[in-house]
């Protein structure tokens, strides 16, 4: 961002300065809100924000030690003599004020985009269309929240001549606050749907909220074909003196009218705009791409930019891989793909993910980086900054690709190799030379890094389970918000984290500072240790054969009977360890594993007190019916039994221990029984029995291999079970019961989501394939098919199979590749 003096910032945000030495106040050239993303600390201002579980004020001393000297806070107690502070009433409001001031001094036009869907795509496409002609600053990724918008706007400075900023809201009143921050001259309302509806009374109310962004705009772009939008936007524009640019594909009397000609893999779009005609093509056929492209065209018109060379670029637009992907690579590498944009901000975010994935100590960190574009900095200063970042994040090897980064090779102080473009890299790089490393592939789109990733990744698969790591963090935080600040969390990662994968999830959780992980058997724990996980790990089902491995790998056993305890204590003694942590399990009514009688308990305590080898770290029990209100009185009896047992143990042991009995449903329904610790399982993975608003984390997807057209009375698959009564269109999909699609879902019991519609599974499911009836659906070979995920809840499949979501999730076979996504 443009440089501001500490004093100026204090004035803008109306804050009070606290600093030991008033004539040596810092100059600020960047703002951070995430304590993990610090680079170039000397001129950074840390804004301490508070969320339901995160309080930036707690990181001040840590950041100060890293070299950050300027802080914006709203808790007076956070102020120390070691740094310069600005105290305000509310840091979030202050951040917005600061951004609004930066916005005021920006002279170029600002395009503001809101709506339910397509915001990020319209923003990115506009950027691609105009990047060669303008200097554009835009929101990184989909930064569009109350915090993301100000952080985007802070990137503005007058070396740019166009800004494109997106805004999203989830509650009434939010847009009011973003309006002065963005203050767009040209507005785009993409559409209105029912996303984020829970805090609004109606879609109309939500529409009015969104329109608040445009109340001072000169021009507003919206689609006439949505009756609600047209009926509200028209008077809104009239009242606020805004030029309304409505467009339509249906109403020929609309001054901006589009005719769409669909081809096999593309569309030809004819635009008529006040009697002038234009034609361009886009490489997509789906309705949302058409709508997004029309919005872009009208925005070009508003910016006076619909020239032939720009229109030609519509043909090269690409589906955005907007999220960063984590995949398994060849040679035991981990690949982090983020080749959708490249700027300093998104580079630091991606480096923090690299750091997290390379948790295994000594794992080599490699960065493959393209030229960085449009920063407004001179190249040598830019690559000196990049080198600083590379050093801060401890990158071991840099591979620079592109003319600019190659020309600036002397700015780098790590081991580095340079290539003029991706093809040069593909031909010359001995890519077998990177082993067991974490590799970040980060580049601007035109460098086509997908080629490089294709070479380095394990063979691509058509059937994948996509895991959304952001959703996992959000679910974790939803649970944290229901717990006291100091309650510890054990996350259950047994059975490959309920089917969603093991080390990637464990690394994420380690980074999120959970207190323990729990696995079912010692082997699962050893895999985590070998991958560098250092969190305490509890083994729920320890087997005698594995005790030695458990002790050497610091895996803590669940002790559920006396014989087991004796044997474990003896092994520990043979290894010469003392006070090895164990977890005592009390059976309070589940009648599965656990110490049940007073005698058993007494005997165990005797062994524990006599032996120095083990130490009770926690005492726990498991609820049999925490999700079922009909069993609440039984659950209360379990609590009472647990209280009695733990009180008894507390009397007998000379030290204290943690108590825990709640699983996910228990945390939702009996938070008053959280004691010192809870065990989170299925809730983290997005399933709630009590209707808590959790996010879906996994999507099972495949790809259509072939389309078949059948006559009436022909049949599909084994046993001729799928006989069709009329002419039908059938899609063959490479996923079968060996992948975890239960065979009971065949013969119209289950379905998949294709092109916005549900298509029933027809005939018997085969081992590696199944067939869908896609009659009446615009489906082609190569199209994606969802089996569960955002459109088909896992609960629905569980119901069809008369089972529970746990079984569906853990039933997805290991041969289905897991792909991890991060916003």
How many angstroms separate the Cα of 584 from the Cα of each of 497, 564, 638, 652, 778? 23, 11, 16, 14, 58
* Smaller CB separation from ligand PLP, 414 or 624: 624
- Provide the total of helices (H) and of strands (E) in the chain, helices listed first: 26, 41
Our finding on whether 681 is near ligand PLP (CB under 6 A) is: yes
Angle among Cα 479, 480, 484 to the nearest 5 degrees reads 120
Asked whether position 682 contacts ligand PLP by CB under 6 A, the answer is yes
* Beta strands 186-189; 219-223: pairing state: parallel
- Contact between 503 and 496 under an 8 Å Cβ cutoff? The reply is no
The stretch among 187-195, 417-425, 659-667, 714-722 that binds ligand PLP (CB under 6 A) is: 659-667
The β-bridge partners of 557 are 539
As a three-state string, the secondary structure of 806-818 is HHHHHCCCCCCEE
Cβ proximity of 440 and 325 under 8 Å:
no
Residue 667: C-alpha distances to residues 618, 660, 672 (Å): 18, 11, 8
Whether 494 is catalytic is yes
638 binds ligand PLP (CB under 6 A): no
The DSSP secondary-structure symbol of 32 reads E
Q: Given the rule CB under 6 A, which of 242-250, 635-643, 675-683, 769-777 is the region that contacts ligand PLP?
A: 675-683
Based on CB atoms, which residue is closest to ligand PLP, 660 or 818?
Answer: 660
C-alpha 574/C-alpha 610 separation (Å) is 16
Greatest CA separation for the chain: 94
Whole-angstrom Cα distance, residue 370 to residue 353?
18
User: Which of these segments, 404-412, 646-654, 678-686, 783-791, binds ligand PLP (CB under 6 A)?
Assistant: 678-686
Nearer to ligand PLP, 144 or 663 (CB): 663
Strands 751-754, 757-762: pairing is antiparallel
Cβ atoms 399, 367 nearer than 8 A = yes
Cβ-based nearer residue to ligand PLP, 267 or 490: 490
Q: Which stretch binds ligand PLP (CB under 6 A): 478-486, 674-682, 733-741, 751-759?
A: 674-682
Per CB under 6 A, which region of 125-133, 531-539, 658-666, 668-676 contacts ligand PLP? 658-666
Distance of CA 724 to the CA centre of its chain: 42
Q: Least CB distance from residue 808 to ligand PLP, whole Å?
A: 13
Residue 679 contacts ligand PLP per CB under 6 A: yes
In 10 A of CB 239, how many CB atoms?
A: 9
Three-state SS for 231? helix
- Please choose, out of 16-24, 286-294, 357-365, 679-687, the segment that lies near ligand PLP by the rule CB under 6 A: 679-687
Residue from the set 120, 397, 613, 664 that interacts with ligand PLP by CB under 6 A: 664
User: Phi first, then psi: what are they for 457, rounded to 5°?
Assistant: -95, 160
Closer Cβ to ligand PLP, 145 or 512, answer by number: 512
The smaller minimum CB distance to ligand PLP, of residues 28 and 559, is found at 559
Choose between 56 and 681: whose C-beta lies nearer to ligand PLP. 681
For ligand PLP, give the closer residue by CB, 97 or 679.
Answer: 679
Closest distance of CB 460 from ligand PLP, Å: 32
| 351/388 Cα distance (integer angstroms) | 12
Number of residues counted as binding ligand PLP (CB under 6 A): 10
Is residue 698 a contact residue for ligand PLP (CB under 6 A)?
A: no
- Print the binding letters for residues 265-304 with ligand PLP: x by CB under 6 A, - otherwise: ----------------------------------------
Token pair of 215 as six digits: 């109340």
Beta carbon nearer to ligand PLP, 613 or 664 = 664
Select from 663, 674, 688, 702 the one that contacts ligand PLP (CB under 6 A): 663
Binding status of residue 525 toward ligand PLP by CB under 6 A? no
Nearest to 479 by CA among 623, 662, 196, 683: 683
Q: Which of 488, 494, 673, 701 is catalytic?
A: 494
The region of 508-516, 562-570, 663-671, 712-720 touching ligand PLP under the rule CB under 6 A is 663-671
User: Using H for helix, E for strand and C for coil, what is the string for 126-142?
Assistant: HHHHHCCCCCEEECCCC
Q: Of 32 and 537, which has the nearer Cβ to ligand PLP?
A: 537
* CB of 551 or CB of 665, closer to ligand PLP: 665
Find the part of the chain contacting ligand PLP (CB under 6 A) among 131-139, 313-321, 646-654, 677-685: 677-685
What is the layout of strands, in order, in the sheet containing 267-273?
Answer: 136-138, 162-166, 110-114, 186-189, 219-223, 243-248, 256-262, 267-273, 276-282
Question: Which has the closest alpha carbon to 660: 685, 642, 641?
Answer: 642
> CA 390 to CA 394: how far, in whole Å?
6
Q: How far apart are CA 346 and CA 341, in angstroms?
A: 8
Binding mask 491-520 for ligand PLP (x = CB under 6 A): -x----------------------------
Here the tokens at position 496 are: 């490959």
Smallest distance from ligand PLP to CB 74, Å? 36
Convert 80-116 to b/e letters by CB count within 10 Å (16 or more is b).
eeebbbbbbeebbebbbbbbbbbbeebebbbbbbbbb
Nearest-CA neighbor of 583 among 527, 658, 489? 658
3-state secondary structure 480-504: HCCCCCCCEEEEECHHHHHHCCCHH
**Closest distance to ligand PLP from the beta carbon of 663 (Å):** 3
Phi, psi of 545 (to 5 degrees): -55, -25
Nearer CB in complex with ligand PLP: 329/689: 689
Choose the binding region for ligand PLP from 38-46, 282-290, 528-536, 657-665 (rule: CB under 6 A).
657-665
DSSP alpha helices (H): ranges in 341-436?
344-357, 379-392, 403-407, 422-428
Which of 327, 507, 583, 622 lies at the binding interface for ligand PLP (CB under 6 A)? 622
Residue 516 or 820 having the CB closest to ligand PLP: 516
Site string for ligand PLP, 580-619 (x = CB under 6 A): ----------------------------------------
Q: Which two tokens stand for residue 551?
A: 């002790």
- CA–CA separation, 55 vs 59, rounded Å? 8
540 lies in the site for ligand PLP, by CB under 6 A: yes
For residue 673, state whether it binds ligand PLP (rule: CB under 6 A). no
CB-nearest residue to ligand PLP: 681
| Binding stretches for ligand PLP (CB under 6 A) | 492, 540, 622, 663-665, 679, 681-683
| Catalytic positions | 494, 718
């Amino acid at each position: 961002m443009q440089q501001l003096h500490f004093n100026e910032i204090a004035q803008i945000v109306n804050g009070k300065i606290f600093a030991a030495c008033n004539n040596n106040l810092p100059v600020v050239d960047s703002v951070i809100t995430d304590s993990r993303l610090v680079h170039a600390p000397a001129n950074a201002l840390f804004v301490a924000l508070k969320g339901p579980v995160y309080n930036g004020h707690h990181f001040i001393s840590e950041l100060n030690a890293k070299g950050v000297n300027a802080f914006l806070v709203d808790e007076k107690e956070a102020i120390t003599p070691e740094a310069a502070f600005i105290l305000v009433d509310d840091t979030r409001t202050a951040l917005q004020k600061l951004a609004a001031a930066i916005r005021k001094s920006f002279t170029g036009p600002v395009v503001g985009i809101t709506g339910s869907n397509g915001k990020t795509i319209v923003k990115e496409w506009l950027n691609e269309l105009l990047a060669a002609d303008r200097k554009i600053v835009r929101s990184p990724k989909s930064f569009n929240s109350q915090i993301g918008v100000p952080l985007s706007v802070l990137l503005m400075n007058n070396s740019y001549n166009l800004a494109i900023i997106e805004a999203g809201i989830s509650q009434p009143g939010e847009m009011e606050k973003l309006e002065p921050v963005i203050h767009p001259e040209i507005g785009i309302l993409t559409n209105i749907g029912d996303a984020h509806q829970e805090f609004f009374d109606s879609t109309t109310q939500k529409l009015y909220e969104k329109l608040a962004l445009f109340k001072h705009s000169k021009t507003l772009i919206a689609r006439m074909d949505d009756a609600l939008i047209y009926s509200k936007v028209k008077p809104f524009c009239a009242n606020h003196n805004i030029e309304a640019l409505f467009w339509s594909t249906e109403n020929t009397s609309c001054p901006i009218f589009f005719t769409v000609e669909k081809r096999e893999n593309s569309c030809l779009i004819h635009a008529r705009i006040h009697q002038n005609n234009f034609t361009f093509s886009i490489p997509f056929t789906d309705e949302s791409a058409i709508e997004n492209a029309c919005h872009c065209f009208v925005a070009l018109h508003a910016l006076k930019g619909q020239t032939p060379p720009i229109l030609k670029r519509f043909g090269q637009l690409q589906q955005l891989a907007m999220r960063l992907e984590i995949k398994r690579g060849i040679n035991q590498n981990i690949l982090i793909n983020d080749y959708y944009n490249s700027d300093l901000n998104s580079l630091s975010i991606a480096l923090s993910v690299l750091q997290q994935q390379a948790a295994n100590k000594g794992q080599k960190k490699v960065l493959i980086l393209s030229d960085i574009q449009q920063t407004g900095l001179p190249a040598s200063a830019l690559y000196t900054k990049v080198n600083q970042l590379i050093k801060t994040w401890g990158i071991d090897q840099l591979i620079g690709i592109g003319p600019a980064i190659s020309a600036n090779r002397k700015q780098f102080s790590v081991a580095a190799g340079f290539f003029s473009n991706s093809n040069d890299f593909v031909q010359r790089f001995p890519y077998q030379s990177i082993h067991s490393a974490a590799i970040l592939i980060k580049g601007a789109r035109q460098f086509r890094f997908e080629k490089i990733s294709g070479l380095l990744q394990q063979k691509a698969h058509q059937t994948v389970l996509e895991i959304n790591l952001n959703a996992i963090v959000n679910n974790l935080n939803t649970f944290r918000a229901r717990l006291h600040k100091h309650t510890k969390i054990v996350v259950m990662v047994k059975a490959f984290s309920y089917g969603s994968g093991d080390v990637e999830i464990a690394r994420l959780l380690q980074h999120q500072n959970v207190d323990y992980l729990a696995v079912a058997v010692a082997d699962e724990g050893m895999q985590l240790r070998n991958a560098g996980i250092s969190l305490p790990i509890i083994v729920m089902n320890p087997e005698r054969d594995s005790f030695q491995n458990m002790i050497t790998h610091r895996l803590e056993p669940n002790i559920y009977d006396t014989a087991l305890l004796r044997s474990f204590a003896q092994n520990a003694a043979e290894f010469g360890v003392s006070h090895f942590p164990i977890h005592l399990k009390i059976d309070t009514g589940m009648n599965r594993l656990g110490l049940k009688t007073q005698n058993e308990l007494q005997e165990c305590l005797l062994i524990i007190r006599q032996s120095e080898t083990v130490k009770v770290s926690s005492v726990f029990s498991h609820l049999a019916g925490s999700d079922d209100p009909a069993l609440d009185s039984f659950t209360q009896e379990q609590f009472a039994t647990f209280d009695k047992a733990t009180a008894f143990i507390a009397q007998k042991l000379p030290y204290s221990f943690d108590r825990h009995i709640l699983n996910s449903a228990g945390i939702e329904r009996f938070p008053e029984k959280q004691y010192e610790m809870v065990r989170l399982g299925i809730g983290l993975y997005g399933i709630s029995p009590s209707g808590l608003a959790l996010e879906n984390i996994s999507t099972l997807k495949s790809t259509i291999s072939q389309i078949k057209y059948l006559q009436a009375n022909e049949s599909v698959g084994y046993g001729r079970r799928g006989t069709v009564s009329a002419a039908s269109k059938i899609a063959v999909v490479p996923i079968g019961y060996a992948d975890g699609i239960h065979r009971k879902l065949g013969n119209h019991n289950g379905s998949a989501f294709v092109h916005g519609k549900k298509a029933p599974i027809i005939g018997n499911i085969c081992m590696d394939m199944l067939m869908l009836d896609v009659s009446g659906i615009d489906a082609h070979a190569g199209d994606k098919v969802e089996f569960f995920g955002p459109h088909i809840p896992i609960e629905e499949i569980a119901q069809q199979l008369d089972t529970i979501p746990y079984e569906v999730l853990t039933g997805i076979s290991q041969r289905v590749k897991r792909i991890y996504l991060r916003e």
